[in-house]
Amino acid sequence: MSEQKVIISNDLKTDLERFLSTLKYDKLFILTDTNTKEKCYPLIKDISVLQAARLICILSGDVHKNQEQLSAVWQILSNEGASRNSLLINLGGGMITDLGGFAGATFKRGLQTLNIPTTLMALVDAAVGGKTGINFNGLKNEIGSFYPPVCVFINSSFLRTLDWNNLLSGYAEMMKHALISSMETYASVLSFDLSKPVDYALLNRMVAQSVAIKERIVEEDPKEKGIRKALNFGHTVGHAIESLSFKTDTPLLHGHAVAVGIVCELYLSYKQCGFPTDKLTQTIHYIKEYYPPFFFDCKAYDSLYEWMTHDKKNENGIINFTLLSDIGQIHINRSVNKELIWESLDFYRESFGI
């Protein structure tokens, strides 16, 4: 897998122009969705090197990270004569970098892509690491590939365009990075005041720290054969919760579902690996302070368990979790029986008074 370059940019226009001048491409495309076209594209559209770009706009929202929107991108690339030497800039959140990355990976068997993430979720997680894909058959990221972009530009100026729920969504991934990293990072993340007004200067520094954690792990294990599975902490339950939310027409943003998953999987970590109760309580208290509860009852447990069986970390039909014995003490490929998984769901509902 080719190396992915990450640029922490304080001057996006200058840095982007400088980098694009080093690339060779015959045609330039910019992929946005209906939200980022309105709120984020104006921040870069006057860059001279982008004046000849063909803008592609698809429907926003994770529910549209599907075959239909992917096909629409392919169609425009084909109609406009894109080649393997073309460049596709993905300007948007995780939905855009996932779908656009997969479109780039598959069109003509691969053209160049470049990510400019515009949400906190994409900045610290989705746009970095080379995972691409779409949802399929009611399952998150069921179809996809590892296909790193030539570069990811991390610029936090886009964060001011975010609504409150999207900011919280991305912050859940920062909590995950802190939990699998170090006490120092954990303490800084759980001491950050998410109440308005947000300290964007401090958040910018924390974003760079969070990106560095993911970069380090991805560099060590680019194809998720081992330690990269640590990045899935909170996601085995979280993806199932996300699928349930769409199934019941109460859609959750990805990070809000991950926050549910973090609570459940910290409980599993406590039961299976001895994760400290004081840190379990501290993390849950922080999540309860900022994240609204997701309502479900025990009738949903069978469906949630079924969704978990489709998790891509599973082997031989066994649900594999990433669990923790302490902050930064990671245990991958830990199997958990059905009864204990259900117990963790009970624990979440009891903790949030559901």
Per-residue model confidence (pLDDT) at position 1: 43
Per-residue model confidence (pLDDT) at position 3: 61
**Which residues of the chain are in CATH 3.40.50.1970 domains?**
5-161
Query: What is the average pLDDT across 282-306?
Result: 97
**Which residues of the chain are in CATH 1.20.1090.10 domains?**
164-351
- Render pLDDT for 52-89 as a digit per residue (tens, 0 to 9): 999 999 999 888 999 999 999 999 999 999 999 999 99
Does residue 295 register a pLDDT over 90? yes
Per-residue model confidence (pLDDT) at position 4: 66
DSSP strand pairing (131-136 vs 139-146): antiparallel
- Fold classification of 5-161 (topology level): Rossmann fold (3.40.50)
Query: What is the average pLDDT across 284-292?
Result: 97
The structure tokens 């949802």 sit at 135
Q: pTM value?
A: 0.85
Tell me which CATH code domain 164-351 carries. Answer: 1.20.1090.10
Query: What is the average pLDDT across 256-262?
Result: 98
| Long-range interactions of 346-351: CB distance < 8 A, separation 24+ | 346/298, 347/263, 347/264, 347/267, 348/260, 348/263, 348/264, 348/267, 349/296, 349/297, 351/263, 351/284, 351/288
Cβ burial, residue 270 (10 Å; 0-12/13-18/19+): buried
Give the confidence band of 206 by pLDDT, cuts at 50, 70, 90. Answer: very high
